[in-house]
Structure 1
Amino acid sequence: MTTPAPDPFGGLRFVDAGDLRVAYVDAGPANGTPVLLLHGWPYDIRSFAEVAPVLARAGYRVLVPYLRGHGATAFRDDATPRNAQQSVLAADAIAFLDALGVERAIVGGFDWGARTADILAVLHPDRVTGLVSVSGYLVGSQAAGGVPLPPEAELQWWYQYYFATERGRLGYDRYRREFAKLIWRLASPRWAFDDATFDASAVAFDNPDHVAIVVHNYRWRLGLAAGDARFDDVEAHLATAPPIAVPTITLEGDANGAPHPDSAVYAAKFTGPYEHRVIGGGIGHDLPQEAPREFAQAVIDVDRMSRPT
Structure 2
Amino acid sequence: MESITTDQLEIAFETHGRRTTNMPIMLLHGFPDDATAWNEVGGRLAAAGRHAIAPHVRGCGPTRFLSKETPRSGQVAARARDVVHLMDGLQIERAIVVGQDWGAATAQALAMLHPQRVDKLVVLNGHGLLNMAVFAQGKRPSWATFHAGWYQWLFQSAIAEPLLRQDAAGLARYLWQQWSPGWRFSEEVFAAVARSLANPDWVDVVLSAYRPPDADPHADPRDAAAGRQLATAPAITQPTLNLQGARDGVDLFEDTQLGQEAFYRGGFRCARLEGCGHFLQRERPDEVASLLLEFFDDA
**Could you tell me whether the CA contact under 8 Å between 2:4 and 2:10 is conserved in 1?**
yes
- Deviation string 1:140-164 (CA, Å, 9 cap, x unpaired) is 588999x997754432222122222
1:295 is matched with which residue? Answer: 288
Deviations 1:240-263 (A, max 9, x none): 212211111111001000135422
Letter in 1 for 2:40: E
1:237 to 220, 224, 229: 229
Match of 1:263 in 2: 257
Q: 1:186 corresponds to which letter in structure 2?
A: Q
After TM superposition, give the deviation of residue 264 of structure 1 in Å: 4.0
Structure 2's unaligned 5+ residue stretches are: none
Measured in 2, the distance between the counterparts of 1:63 and 1:104 equals 13
Partners of 1:273 and 1:57 in 2: how far apart?
28
Name the structure 1 match of 2:190.
Answer: 198
Matches within 5 A, 1:1-309: 12-31=1-20, 32-139=22-129, 152-220=144-212, 223-226=214-217, 227-260=219-252, 261-280=255-274, 282-305=275-298, 307=299
Q: Which moved more, 1:65-74 or 1:240-249?
A: 240-249
Rounded Cα–Cα distance in structure 2 between residues aligned with 1:116 and 1:29: 24
Q: Describe the shift of the 1:139–1:213 C-alpha distance in structure 2 as closer, same or farther (beyond 3 A).
A: same
Q: Whole-Å Cα distance in 2 between the matches of residues 35 and 14 of structure 1?
A: 17
Change over 3 Å in CA distance of 1:149–1:296 after alignment to 2: closer
Distance 2:104 2:133 in 1: 20
* Count of residues in correspondence between the two structures: 292
Q: Residues 142 and 215 (structure 1 numbering): CA distance in 2 closer, same or farther, change over 3 Å? A: farther
| CA distance in structure 2 between the aligned counterparts of 1:14 and 1:241, rounded to whole angstroms | 32
Preserved contact between residue 140 and residue 238 of structure 1 (Cα < 8 Å): no
**Residues 29 and 207 of structure 1: CA distance in aligned 2, closer, same or farther (over 3 Å):** same
Q: Aligned equivalents of 1:301 and 1:126: distance in 2? A: 23
CA distance in 1, matches of 2:292, 2:69: 38
TM-score, L = length of structure 1: 0.88
CA distance in structure 2 between the partners assigned to 1:74 and 1:264 by the alignment:
37
Identity %: 33
Deviation at 1:269, TM superposition (A): 1.6
Q: 1:205 to 1:144 in 2, by over 3 A?
A: farther
1:121-156 alpha-carbon deviations (Å, 9 max, x no partner): 1112211111110124321588999x9977544322
- Give the whole-Å Cα distance in 2 for the aligned partners of 1:153 and 1:175: 25
Check conservation: 2:280, 2:288, Cα contact below 8 A: yes
Separation (CA, whole Å) in 2 of partners of 1:97 and 1:279: 30
The CA distance in 1 between the partners of 2:57 and 2:222, in whole Å, is 20
Any unmatched runs of 5+ in structure 1? 1-11
TM-score by length of 2: 0.91
Q: CA RMSD in A?
A: 2.2
Instruction: Check the 8 A contact 1:142/1:220 in 2, yes or no.
Output: no
Contact 1:131/1:302 (<8 A) preserved: no
- SS of equivalent to 2:211: helix
Distance 1:138 1:202, change over 3 A: same
Q: Secondary structure at the match of 2:109?
A: helix
Q: SS in structure 1 opposite 2:10?
A: strand
Q: Output the amino acid matched with 1:91.
A: R
